[in-house]
Structure 1
Amino acid sequence: MTIYFIPLAVIILFSINQLTNTLCVQKEIPEDKQPVVFRTINVLITILLISSYFEMLFT
């Protein structure tokens, strides 16, 4: 299960980062605030992926 989940998680993070970049461009978020937006979204998505991994692992 880990063999499939880790590559899928990387693909999800890459896709979310592309969508975040599109959001920043579309909403014209200033360059100095973009790292905060990316960091917040990446931390939240990582927490979501880790919790879903543990849920699949223990059920």
Structure 2
Amino acid sequence: MISIFIIFAVFILYNINKMTNSLCLQKDIPEDRQPKVFRTINILVTILLISSFVEILYA
């Protein structure tokens, strides 16, 4: 179960990062602010994935 969830999480993070890159290009976000945008989105998605895993584990 854990390995399936890890594969799913990596796939989700990869797609979120692709969409974040598209957002940065579309909205013309300056290069110096892009790492902060990526970091914030990645932290929030990681928290969401961890909470989903805990919910599945204890449900």
With structure 1 as the length reference, what TM-score do the two structures score? 0.98
5+ unaligned residues in a row in structure 1: which ranges?
Answer: none
Segments of 4+ in structure 1 off by > 6 A? none
Partner of 2:53: 53
Partner of 1:32: 32
User: Number of residues paired by the alignment?
Assistant: 59
With structure 2 as the length reference, what TM-score do the two structures score? 0.98
5+ unaligned residues in a row in structure 2: which ranges?
Answer: none
Q: CA RMSD in A?
A: 0.4
SS at the partner of 1:19? helix
* Deviation of 1:49 (Å): 0.1
